[in-house]
Structure 1
Amino acid sequence: MLVSKYFVWFIIYSFMGWIYESTYCTIRKHHWENRGFLHGPIVPIYGVGALLASILFSEFPISGMQEASNLKIFLICFFGSIVLEYTTSWALEKLFHAYWWDYSNVICNINGRVCLPASIGFGLAGILVVRVIYPFVSGMTHDTNVYLMEALSLVFMFLFGMDMALTISALTNFAKNFNRIESEINEQIASAYEKLDTKAADAIGNMIEKSEQIQESAFVRKELAEEKAAALRERLTKERLESLFLSSSAAQKSTLLSIQGFKRSKDSNELRQRMRTMIDEKRHNRQK
């Protein structure tokens, strides 16, 4: 019964988080934003945070917690949100080479994963959860029949599991196709280089044997080869990424459009950056 109750609370909190996140982003960007990692109307990180706050300050008989002052609640939720948000962002990026939020342009941020204004907001939200939302949710579910509560938790678990599986499958398939495309482009570029080298070598062989002329020709050959290879990579990249996006399922497209960027680290390659630009364009066109 306890697990069922907490899972139902988790879903309720996650739904409230989705409402807040989507509303805030919609107002800020002046167009509808369906926020979250999953397809459904829930943001799990809010559910986890609010559930932990409810358990810590109200459910478990921990000394000094149930009588905690607003300042104490704020500080614990402030620092707790930093740990939760940074860990979640890091884990998602390690697993899927992508990130769903980015504070890089916000003051006092750490690697774009957490920032001071957001953490202050979560600290204040912790007070709201403990003082207002938790009593409401607890009271709403307190008199619910045990069997009904268990049935609700099973339904929510099934839907949550399906959504999670669908999202992970979409991201995994995309990663596989992405790596395949990257390999194919590199192979075609390498093949184009070989052809250019062969033609240039034949041209040099027919020239008058003068050292300066050979060096100049080699330089020109290198410049032309790099220019043609760059143009070829540009065309292939655009074609392959467009093809990958268009051939994706509705679930995959929805997942891709929710991503804010790919891999913040320095080894984030050009193809991923181009994919991010293309997704931004698709998202912008969809909102028109």
Structure 2
Amino acid sequence: MNISLAFPPLLKGVKTIVGLQFTDKVIRLLELGKDKKPLSEPIEVNLEGKDKEKVLREVVQKYGLSGKRVVACIPVNDGLLKFYKYPASMSKKDLQSAIEWSIKRELSAMREETYYDYFILEPGAEGKQVGVVLVLSRKETVEGIRKMVESVGLKLHTLDYEVVAIINYGLYHKLPVPFSILYIDYNYSILTTYSPTNISYYVTYWSFSEFLKSRDEESLESFFAEIRNIVVLNDLSSMYVAGPIIADEEMLTRIMENLPILGILDLEELKPNFFIPYILSIRGMEG
């Protein structure tokens, strides 16, 4: 089992792997064929008020998934991504020492045992700096996911991080760099920005599902204002929108009218709910 950060997808020689995403609200599973089309019906199951492991076990048994290998992802709130810049003129030895020192410093600040992985990006166009991506997650979190997945009869091949999965989508589909992706799920959103010299992400907790019930316009306007502030403060451009919300035409229209969206990351022949399982599954096949 790997905690992996490779950009772009890493695994080779694998026919199919199930992409597995779970949030506080849902579990999603998706297995693609080599043509990037689902081999079976994509699965989304509501988790509210239910035991996550029990639901996953029922899904595995119902859909005959026992023994399948999966690429899963750590939810955004259960991990931490750090981005470092170093002079491109550094020797490999000095760069490695600098990275190890940064990791040691991060680990010393953690109160619990922590797993980590890092990846060195290619230098930017100017070639003056080298970017390094570091992801950390508590051992308890990682081992909990591994044990849950294996206890229901699945095989955990790779454990990704939700923010990295979003970036991998942009890289796999060759979005012009730099790019920003606003992923809006049922009860949270992640605005992720990628360039060779910077990676950042912001999490907001406006609830799309609650808005559909309440139609609280004030909460929606507050969400738009928060995203606009992030865009302005960070001078973001080339922003795309993805996630379950784009299946709602009315909400998509509101988003396009109120936010500086360049494009919509829709999934051909798939509900947009499966944006993250889609790139996880592709990651398991491509290299």
Q: Please tell me the TM-score bracket, short chain as reference.
A: under 0.3
Q: Which has the higher helix share?
A: 1
If the length of structure 1 is used for normalisation, what is the TM-score? 0.23
If the length of structure 2 is used for normalisation, what is the TM-score? 0.23
Q: Which has the higher strand share?
A: 2
Higher relative contact order (CA 8 A, sep 6+): 2
